[in-house]
Structure 1
Amino acid sequence: DAPAEVADQFECTLVWMADEPMLPGRPYWLKLGARTVGATVTEPKYKVNVNTLEHLAAKQLTLNEIGVCNIALDRPLPFDPYTVNRDMGGFILIDRLTNATVGAGMLHFALRRAHNIHRQALDIDKAARAALMGHKPAVLWFTGLSGAGKSTIANLVEKKLHAAGCHSYLLDGDNVRHGLNKDLGFTDADRVENIRRVAEVAKLMVDAGLIVLTAFISPFRAERALARGLLEDGEFIEIHVDTPLEVAESRDVKGLYKKARRGELKNFTGIDSPYEPPVAPELRLDTRALSAEQAAEAVLALLRERGLIGG
């Protein structure tokens, strides 16, 4: 008489249990009953003062804080509100990299948009678009410190792709912040949202059949893993432009390191905000040993080796 609902977006109460804060937009695993799916938490609607039960404005949750949030899953799940069925309404959140439990929560109800928005079937798919392009689509994700040479190398690679008749687009970190992401700053939460948006745009461009190049510091492994997870196997190529901090700082073409050292630029990667280098990138470019031209040729060689472009 009361079948479980099925949805992929909910309001919930969330208790945060990790030392690192909950960052809106960061990917986690959500375990509900016997199912484990991908999940992201939006900004909390509010957090609760446990002493007075007062509702307080909040941008994130820290250790032992309780908040009411919206949460989105990567696929629909059957559920019951926690007040009806604890087994089908209680969940835990798990860190995707460490598998540690970082939060626990109670589902309230499905958001209306979870029932009102449906996938539209399209007759022209990614394979058909790629066939017109004459090459396979992919994302070349350049990551590294500011000043490592990501934009320079990515620009050279795109010039070579263009000369070879390949269809491509370069999403550059600074350029994107002039438009799509002009509303974001440089806090950890803003960096997470910056990369989430770029990853979704890159996915759409891959669906259009393009070779997409992204040049972003993208300092956190979790968000790079999110970008990889949006694509099919073989479509995401992580390229670590590996430049030691002292070398990148010595270049300082934009004068950003000097500002950061003077305390004028907060949350600057490598100075007062961490950079988490890739553990197993598809390609590592040591810019102490390679020129920008040599690095670009190494990228093209990898694309040919993987059959993404012609020889």
Structure 2
Amino acid sequence: MTTNIHTTFDKIYDRRKKEEFLNQLSKVIWFTGLSGSGKTTLSSGLEKKFFANGHFCQVLDSDNIRSGINNNLTFTEADRKENIRRIAEVCKLYLNSGVITLCAFISPTNDIRDMARSIIGEEDFIEIHVSTPLDICEERDVKGLYAKARNGKIPNFTGISSPFEVPEDPFMRIDTSTQPEDASVEQLFEKILPVVKLDTKK
């Protein structure tokens, strides 16, 4: 089957040319953490901050992806892995388009995150661990997902009936329970900005 596939990557503008056009280095900013930890809030806030400073981003969020491209997947271990595999491949396309991609996915295991990293590329995978404690995440749970999980109504729920493996060496850890949202976004922006700045001298 693969013998009939002929890619056209060599016939389109390369990543460097698109980065020069957008005046930025494309990277994948990968937010991982428990449900309710603040991944979506931080990624959307960071997108606005980058946009206001002349950088073009795309946010990929779990619920949006699962309502569209991955709406055929469940929350079994195999489907969680396939969910992240597809997302990583989409990220790679954005990466080659010069876009800064902000991903907000629980991605609960080191194995799953390592798979995403291997697809995207070690140098382009910027891992952010949103380390907000479980009890705070449960307090914030407006959808009542944690309560349903504790009552056995939602199987394989990360943090309750399914484990979350803490990243060993992320680019940054941030606990959204210790400071206001805008302060967290500003902290992220200051740390990540040097990574996405284009060196025009090269």
- 8 A Cα contact 1:168 1:210, kept in partner: yes
| Bigger Rg over Cα | 1
Is 2:94 aligned against 1:205?
Answer: yes
Mapped partners of 1:117, 1:213: distance in 2: 30
Q: Which residue number corresponds to residue 258 of structure 1?
A: 147
Is 2:36 aligned against 1:147?
Answer: yes
Mapped partners of 1:236, 1:162: distance in 2: 20
Q: Aligned to 2:67, which of 158, 174, 178?
A: 178
In structure 2, give the amino acid aligned to 1:130.
E
Is 2:68 aligned against 1:159?
Answer: no
Higher helix share: 2
Q: Which residue number corresponds to residue 119 of structure 1?
A: 7
Describe the shift of the 1:232–1:192 C-alpha distance in structure 2 as closer, same or farther (beyond 3 A): closer
> Aligned residues, how many?
198
Describe the shift of the 1:233–1:273 C-alpha distance in structure 2 as closer, same or farther (beyond 3 A): closer
- 8 A Cα contact 1:137 1:308, kept in partner: no
Mapped partners of 1:291, 1:136: distance in 2: 28
Identical amino acids, percent of aligned pairs: 45
Q: State TM-score, norm by structure 1.
A: 0.61
In structure 2, give the amino acid aligned to 1:278.
P
Q: Which residue number corresponds to residue 132 of structure 1?
A: 21
Cα deviation, residue 307, structure 1: 4.8
Kindly indicate whether structure 1 or structure 2 has the higher relative contact order, using CA contacts under 8 Å at least 6 residues apart: 2
Aligned partner of residue 212 in structure 1, secondary structure: strand
In structure 2, give the amino acid aligned to 1:142.
F
Mapped partners of 2:196, 2:80: distance in 1: 33
Cα deviation, residue 233, structure 1: 4.4
Higher strand share: 1
Aligned partner of residue 141 in structure 1, secondary structure: strand
Q: Which residue number corresponds to residue 285 of structure 1?
A: 174
Cα deviation, residue 147, structure 1: 0.5
Aligned partner of residue 156 in structure 2, secondary structure: coil
- 8 A Cα contact 1:155 1:170, kept in partner: yes
In structure 2, give the amino acid aligned to 1:115.
T
Unaligned runs of 5+ in 1: 1-112
Partner deviation per Cα, 1:220-253 (whole Å, 9 max, x = no partner): 1112111212234431100000011111112112
Partner deviation per Cα, 1:37-59 (whole Å, 9 max, x = no partner): xxxxxxxxxxxxxxxxxxxxxxx
Q: State TM-score, norm by structure 2.
A: 0.92
In structure 2, give the amino acid aligned to 1:116.
N
Is 2:183 aligned against 1:294?
Answer: yes
Larger deviation: 231-240 or 131-140?
A: 231-240
Cα deviation, residue 290, structure 1: 2.5
